[in-house]
Structures are given as C-alpha cells and as structure tokens.
Amino acid sequence: MPHYDLVIIGTGSGNSILDQRFADRKVAIVEKGVFGGTCLNVGCIPTKMFVHTADVAATPATSARLGVDETLDGVRWREIRDRIFGRIDPIAAGGREYRLEHADNANVTVYEGEGRFTGHKELTVRLPDDSETLTADEFVLAAGGRAVVPDIPGLDEVGYHTSDTVMRIDELPSRLVILGSGFIAAEFAHVFASFGVEVTMIARSGALLRVEDDDISRRYTELAAERFDVRLNRKTTRARRTATGIVLEMEGPGGAETAEGDLLLVATGRRPNSDLLDVAKTGVTTLPTGHVAVDEHQRTSVPGIYALGDISSPHELKHVANHEARVVQHNLLHPDDPIVADHRFIPHAVFTSPQIASVGLTEQDAAARGVPYVTATQDYAGIAYGWAMEDTTSFAKLLADPSTGQLIGAHIIGPQAPTLIQPLVQAMSFGLDARSMARGQYWIHPAMPELIENALLNLPLDA
Amino acid sequence: MPHYDLVIIGTGSGNSILDQRFADRKVAIVEKGVFGGTCLNVGCIPTKMFVHTADVAATPATSARLGVDETLDGVRWREIRDRIFGRIDPIAAGGREYRLEHADNANVTVYEGEGRFTGHKELTVRLPDDSETLTADEFVLAAGGRAVVPDIPGLDEVGYHTSDTVMRIDELPSRLVILGSGFIAAEFAHVFASFGVEVTMIARSGALLRVEDDDISRRYTELAAERFDVRLNRKTTRARRTATGIVLEMEGPGGAETAEGDLLLVATGRRPNSDLLDVAKTGVTTLPTGHVAVDEHQRTSVPGIYALGDISSPHELKHVANHEARVVQHNLLHPDDPIVADHRFIPHAVFTSPQIASVGLTEQDAAARGVPYVTATQDYAGIAYGWAMEDTTSFAKLLADPSTGQLIGAHIIGPQAPTLIQPLVQAMSFGLDARSMARGQYWIHPAMPELIENALLNLPLDA
C-alpha cells in the first residue's frame, strides 16, 4: 500500500497546484477521466468556442433591420466540432503527458482510474486491470461534479445527451428538445438554434434562468420564447421513441402534451462527486447538497484534507475553483500561515443570446435578507452605442446601499455583458462607491461602458 | 447693444451648462450651425452608428474560417443613412426648440449665426439679415473645431468630402480615396470597405494611427494593408478629375504615382475654431496649435471667460468636453470655490476594425519622458475567449511603474477594446496597483476581461 505525502484527486483546477515548490514531496494524482477537468473538456471552454461560432451564424438573421442583407448559407458542423476539439483534446493530452513523463514530475505518480475512499485517508483507485490502495498525509479533493439526469420513465431507453456528449455528435439534428432551464440549457439552445436547429426548451418552473435577478430572468424568458418553443411549468412524465423521433410526454397548465425532437439534451443540473469518492469513509462531512464542507481556508472536517472547486463550491465556476486552488496551494506550502478564500463578489456569465452577467445580490436576494437597497436600471437603448445597435431589449440593473453608495449587486443582459460587468466587480471588490465610480473616471464616448456610467448615475442614493 | 450676464458660444457640450440654477441670469446662446455640436451631428454618434452597421456587414467576409458560410447580399445605403440621421436630426432639432421655446429658457436668447469677437467681451453675431453685437460679464467659449483641408492644387476643383458631409452622400461610390491616416480616416475606411467599397488610404508618414503606441500603430497598419490599398510616405501634389473619377498625383518612395477613386474623403485633421471667433480681440490667448489657453479651472487669460471642449482641449474628445462643461458649470455657479478639471487618465478609442482603445502613456511617450516603466503584452490568442474567436492578431499592452506597480498606460487592439479598457481606466484613476487589480477581484472564465487579468500578471514588477 503506497504512502504519499500528498494525493490530489482530479486534474481540473487541482492540476494547477503542483509546481517546483512541491518537488520534495511524494505526490500522487488520481484522474478517472481525461486531464483538464470539466471546464477544458466539456464545459466553459468548448461551449464558448461553439457560442462564438453561433453568434457569427446568428448575425444574418438580424442584419436586415440595420439595412444589411445577409444570408446564412450553412454551417459545417463537423468542421466546427473538429476545429474546437482539435484544439482542446491536444491540450488535455499534453497535460497528461506532462505529468506522466516530464522531469518536473519525477516526484509525481499518476493513477488513471476512479478513486474511492475506503478508510481514513485511504483511497482505493480502480485501474484498468486491478486496483491500488493509497494512503497519504494530505489529500486535495478536486474531483468536480457531474451532470445529473432526472428519474423519468423511458429516458434510458430513448437515449439522450448531456453537456458531456452533445458537443461531439456527428450530425446536427433538425429538432432538439432540451430538458432544463438553467445556464447550460440556455447556452446550448442558442448554439443549436443559431446553427438552424429547431429548439424546444422544457422547464419545470415558470421562468428560465431562475437563479438570475427576476428582471433578468423575465426578460430572458420573453426573448427565448421568441426564438425557441419554450414550455414552462411542465412536468415531464415519460420519454418514448417513435418512428420520427423522441417524444417527451408532459403535464402542463393546459393538460397533457408532447414535445418531439430528433435529439434530446438533458440539462437539468449537476451534482458534486463527493458520493463517488465516498468521502464519508475518510470522515469528510458534506452539506445536504452533496458539497464537501470546507472552512474559509478550504479545509475539510479532516485535518490535512482540503477541497476546492465544484466538489465543495456551490458556485460551480472555474474562476472560483482556480482561486481556491491558489488558496489550497498556499496553505499546503504554509500550513502555519494559511490564507483565506475570498468568496465575496463572485461574478458569473451566461453566454446565451443576449449574453448575461451578474455579480452580488439579486433584488430578490436583497429583499429576502432584509438589507437596505436601492436599484437603478439603464437600457442599452438610452446610450449612444445602444442606438448604434438598435437595441430595444437589453439593460443593466444595479443595487446599492442607499446610505453608503456601496454596490451590492449588478446584473446585465445584453451584448458584451460579461465584459461590461468587470468594472463593477472591481468596484465592489475594492469598496469603491457608486458616485465616485461614476464621476471619478472617464468613460469613453460613445462606448459600451457608458451603460454602466449611466446606471450608476441613476441610483437614487441618499447623499 | 444688448448686455448679458452670460454668453455661451456653441451648443455641443456648452449646451449642457444651463439648468434652473441659471434661471436668474440673462443668458445668450450663440450657434452658427445645428444644435448639438460635432459629436451628435457629424462626429462620434453617427460614425458609431455606421461602424456598428459596418461590423455586421463585415461578418460574412470572415465567417468561413469558423465553419460558417455566409453571404453579404448587399447594403441599403440610403436606408442606413436615413435610419441614422432620422434619429439624430430630430434630437438636434429638439435641442434647438427647447432653448427657443421652452418655459425653462425664458431667460435665454438664442442667436443663430456666427459670432466673432470685436472688442473686449464684445461679440458680433452675423445673422441671416443683419448682425447683432452683444456684451456680457461672462463668456463660455465652446465653439469646437473643424476639419482642415491641406493646400493641394486642384482639390477645390475636383470636389471632396470631409467627415461633415461624407455620411450624407446619396450613393455609395465604387472606389473611395481617403487622404489621411488618423482615427477619422481609419473609421471611415472600415465603414466603406465593409459596405463593399474599394478603399485607398494615403498617408504622409510611414504608419497609420501614429498617435497610438508604436506597437498598436504598427499592427493596425499591417492589418489595414490587408484590407485597403494603403499608400505610406506619400506626398500628394495635385488633384484632378478624369473621365472615370478623381485622381490624386503623389510622390512616394517609388517615385511619382496616382490613386483614383469616385469619391475623395479628406481626413487630414481638425483645428480649433478660435480663429473664427477671433478670440484675440477680447484678449484671450491661444497656444501655437490654435487652442484657447485655459488654466486648471477652464479659465482663459481673461477673467470671466471660460473655454471647454475642442476649442481649448488637445484631446478633442466628447467625454473630456462633457467633463469640462461640468467644471465650467460649477465654476460659473461657485466662482469663489472653483473646482479643477481632471485631465490625468483620459481614454480614447478608435472604432475601426479591429477596435483600438488607449489610456495613459504610450511606450514612446514614457521613453521620451524618461519615466521608469516596464511593459507586458497579452495576445487574445492566449486567452480562452480569443481561442473561441480564432483571433491571431489582437493584443493588449500595459505599462507600469516597476517599483510601485501603478499603471501608467494601457493600449488594446482587438474586439471589444473600448469596453475592455474601462477597468484599467478605473484602476489608474483610483490608484489601484497592477498586482492588487489582478488578484483582488474575480475575472469571469472564460470571458474577454481575462485578457486584462493576464496582461497584468505578465508585468515584470519588482516586488
């Protein structure tokens, strides 16, 4: 039973921890899939590569109102797919090769198999032919999460895709049914619709993107309904295959109904892989959501066992995992002088159309918590660059403390939202109040950030 | 000879000064053209409306490399033009009507004619049928600038456009010759080329956009040469009309040559209107560039006479003029407690393709001034969103003080540059150092601002 100083489970953000400062430690890395984790292989990176291509493909559909006549002649799906994965797969392979073969990693052993705790600080890895049981002084749990599939009769029989597989299909379907209403559903709906696929989105609740601020969710739901066949408040009761495709049977406000497609994407959520690791066996506690419980130093309930990323974070965002990996790295190197993770102002984006970005509290959050707040919105239609775009539906919404002017939330739906939010993240992170932010710097006229300037000036602050 | 408390000359940013706090003053506004000034009528706003339309029209030309086949079927020039000016002209007219007719402006007299100083605080306005001479205790010089045309034999005879007129032409030419290499030339080259016009750019010097950082100017010049017929180091000696168009005769590195087009745009620069106002007659001094000399309070050499915007600012930017208008407004209302204009960190953008944005010192500025600096660049190709765009030519370049980490310059060429620069403007304006900026906030992965995060991390700072 080999013993290590350190075992890292998962090669997403966990793979960024090791550098030459760990050269004197005996380290094992355990990876059950491909190197690089969710983000690189089946998450943020390939999806954004598809999304940008989709944005380009979607341009002709709306150009005529600007006086520009364009035709989308077609998309070469396999070429797009192979361009994207032709770039990503070698990165994953290179990451694996580096750990397996490079002299920098002479102290590192890679176990390519699924690990499962079988005792206190004892991990058994199922390898192709046998299994190996490792022990270690320290562990980093960075094994991420996975797509979950609801328990609907017939689903396994009809066959379905998740975000893990849908980007690698061989042919575009004519009709895609998406079960789900969160960011993964929204991004793929945009991608496939832009490529000419008829998209049906099926949501259990009454709105899409329900974690967003209510105004953002409502606007997105309205706009999505113009592009897709959006079914809200639907309970899916059964899946079956017919001569012409896959049919979902549903109960909805109007009674029983069906939706049919050639391909089914299940995007109903994800869960942390703490159960697959059986972390309870090593004494690590989890939350009711399945997330590994960690303190501000990313330490689990067991001394010497750290966790980071999707396995422990409710945010499930790569930039959070990367930050946590830096915290864990420091704390492994300097256990007597640990640093804390900063989870105050975490932005996220949804790369659908229009794009969405958000940081801090939504208005419903602020109301529920009883914090004092004022809001302001600014339409793109009210700034010069919005005129240029002939935009009529996009806006930014800010929340601030009326007495101090400190920003407590920012939500944007519209072009460049994930870029426009950065100065707001910066202001919140460094305690810059709304009035100073608006008037203490120049905003290029007429550029997109005037949206933020004007939203800030619209805030009805006390002073 | 009517006497006023205050006379404002020019209705660009100058028109934003008056509000109800001036209700007890007898005010005159003098405007020789249309209300709203350069930016609204012939500058930033209509150009950006054309630029966005051009960006859309340019999409099919580059979509195929992403696997998306699109065709530009055509652009409806007159509809584009009329959509844009159908929106702008009523705003200008509404601004005029407000000052002439609204009860808020009972204390305001509008003189629609060209003003010229004829004595100390004495302005004579040429009206359609006669002239009127006004005196006032205070003046605001906000009369802007105008396009200048070089002294080239034959130019007047062949006929030419400037930025004042080229956006209102009736038909797109097949071939456009642009004399000039600055931001106006670069923006119109992009607009017309995107609409299918063959563009020739003629520059006196060896590069386009020479006020930008040398690396930016060089990259833009390379990219422009791929799209346009770019002629550098050319001295234009004569213009003449032939049976097929307008011909410019030039001397260049290879000897004598010609360029021919159906339409000629002269975009060789602008100058302040201090000469048309004959400001010397009222004792106001000017700089060798023709700009009215002002102090940090926007006061000219004559007590009670203020200046703002293009007539006094070497920046010639609307956001600077608006800031100065707020300073002048305050100082007119509170002469005993004047505020100063902040001209420290003024960004600007060029909405060509690729877009360009800049703030602070260029590397050649920093070297010339002998300030200590280090630089870092980050290619779009090195961030995930740049992969998505398959970008190979865009980058950000930063300059910072190596000992303090304070940013002293930022220059970006690439998609969304005018949006991406805002967090850097904010950091410079509020004294946030590069390392804190990079690590003290989250950057959405994989969104465009990761370009800035990585550029910051690349800076080789001392500490």
Give the pLDDT confidence of B340-389 residue by residue, as tens digits: 999 999 999 999 999 999 999 999 999 999 999 999 999 999 999 999 99
What tokens does A261 get?
């497609």
Closest residue in B to A76 (Cα–Cα): B67
Closest residue in A to B438 (Cα–Cα): A426
Given a contact cutoff of 8 angstroms between Cβ atoms, the answer to whether A409 and A376 are in contact is no
| Arithmetic mean of pLDDT, A114-118 | 98
Could you say which of B56, B357, B385 has the minimum Cβ distance to residue A48? Answer: B385
Given a contact cutoff of 8 angstroms between Cβ atoms, the answer to whether B127 and B111 are in contact is yes
Q: Report d(CA A27, CA B216) in Å as an integer.
A: 45
Q: What is the pLDDT of residue A391?
A: 97
Give the pLDDT confidence of A64-110 residue by residue, as tens digits: 999 999 999 999 999 999 999 999 999 999 999 999 999 999 999 99
Supply angle C-alpha B424, A427, A407, rounded to 5. 155
Q: What is the pLDDT of residue A427?
A: 98
What percent of chain A has pLDDT above 90?
99
Closest residue in A to B390 (Cα–Cα): A49
Is pTM, for the whole model, over 0.90?
yes
Give the pLDDT confidence of A45-61 residue by residue, as tens digits: 999 999 999 999 999 99
Q: Report d(CA A397, CA A402) in Å as an integer.
A: 15
Instruction: Give the alpha-carbon dihedral of B355, B357, B363, B369, to 10 degrees.
Output: 150
Q: What is the pLDDT of residue A160?
A: 98
Q: Do A423 and B420 touch (CB under 8 A)?
A: no
Q: What is the pLDDT of residue B122?
A: 98
Instruction: Indicate if the pLDDT at residue A463 is higher than 80.
Output: no
| Arithmetic mean of pLDDT, B120-128 | 97
Given a contact cutoff of 8 angstroms between Cβ atoms, the answer to whether A366 and A360 are in contact is no
- CA of A397 to nearest chain B CA: how many angstroms apart? 18
- CA of B18 to nearest chain A CA: how many angstroms apart? 19
Two domains, one topology: B3-50+76-146+271-333 and B354-458: no
The CATH number of A354-458, from 3.40.140.10, 3.30.60.50, 3.30.390.30, 3.40.50.360, is 3.30.390.30
Could you say which of B77, B436, B449 has the minimum Cβ distance to residue A419? Answer: B449
Q: Do B318 and A389 touch (CB under 8 A)?
A: no
Could you say which of B56, B74, B422 has the minimum Cβ distance to residue A66? Answer: B56
**C-alpha count within 13 angstroms, C-beta hemisphere, residue A442:** 29
DSSP B21: G
Q: Do B348 and A67 touch (CB under 8 A)?
A: no
Q: What is the pLDDT of residue A113?
A: 97
* Pairing verdict, β B131-141 and B229-231: unpaired
Give the pLDDT confidence of A378-403 residue by residue, as tens digits: 999 999 999 999 999 999 999 999 99
Q: Give the model's confidence band at B17: pLDDT under 50 very low, under 70 low, under 90 confident, else very high.
A: very high
Question: B3-50+76-146+271-333 architecture in CATH?
Answer: 3-Layer(bba) Sandwich (3.50)
Give the pLDDT confidence of B143-167 residue by residue, as tens digits: 999 999 999 999 999 999 999 999 9
Q: How many helices (H) and strands (E) does chain A have?
A: 14, 22
Q: State in words which class domain B155-268 has.
A: alpha beta
Q: Do B71 and A71 touch (CB under 8 A)?
A: yes
Give the pLDDT confidence of B176-186 residue by residue, as tens digits: 999 999 999 99
- CA of A167 to nearest chain B CA: how many angstroms apart? 14
Q: Is A348 exposed, middle or buried (0-12, 13-18, 19+ CB in 10 A)?
A: buried
| Arithmetic mean of pLDDT, A144-171 | 97
Residues 6+ apart with CB under 8 A from A247: A239, A240, A241, A258, A259, A260
Q: Give the model's confidence band at A21: pLDDT under 50 very low, under 70 low, under 90 confident, else very high.
A: very high
Where are any strands of DSSP class E within A242-350?
246-252, 255-261, 263-266, 270-272, 305-307, 348-350
Q: What is the pLDDT of residue A319?
A: 97
Instruction: Assess whether B120 carries a catalytic annotation.
Output: no
Q: What is the pLDDT of residue B416?
A: 98
From chain A, the residues in CB contact with B76 under 8 A are 67-69
From chain A, the residues in CB contact with B57 under 8 A are 63, 68, 70
Domain spans of chain B, in order of start: 3-50+76-146+271-333, 155-268, 354-458
Q: Give the model's confidence band at B275: pLDDT under 50 very low, under 70 low, under 90 confident, else very high.
A: very high
Q: What is the pLDDT of residue B66?
A: 98
What rounded mean pLDDT belongs to chain A?
97
Could you say which of B75, B76, B445 has the minimum Cβ distance to residue A319? Answer: B445
Q: Do A423 and B421 touch (CB under 8 A)?
A: no
Q: Do A80 and B87 touch (CB under 8 A)?
A: no
Give the pLDDT confidence of A304-357 residue by residue, as tens digits: 999 999 999 999 999 999 999 999 999 999 999 999 999 999 999 999 999 999
Give me the interface pTM, i.e. the ipTM.
0.97
| Arithmetic mean of pLDDT, B109-127 | 97
| Arithmetic mean of pLDDT, A182-208 | 98
Instruction: Indicate if the pLDDT at residue A227 is higher than 80.
Output: yes
Q: Give the model's confidence band at A185: pLDDT under 50 very low, under 70 low, under 90 confident, else very high.
A: very high
| Arithmetic mean of pLDDT, B281-304 | 98
| Arithmetic mean of pLDDT, B58-82 | 98
| Arithmetic mean of pLDDT, A287-316 | 98
Q: Do A449 and B319 touch (CB under 8 A)?
A: no
Instruction: Indicate if the pLDDT at residue B463 is higher than 90.
Output: no
From chain B, the residues in CB contact with A345 under 8 A are 441-442
DSSP B134-185: EEEEEEEE---EEE-----TTHHHH--B-TTTGGG-SS--SEEEEE--SHHH
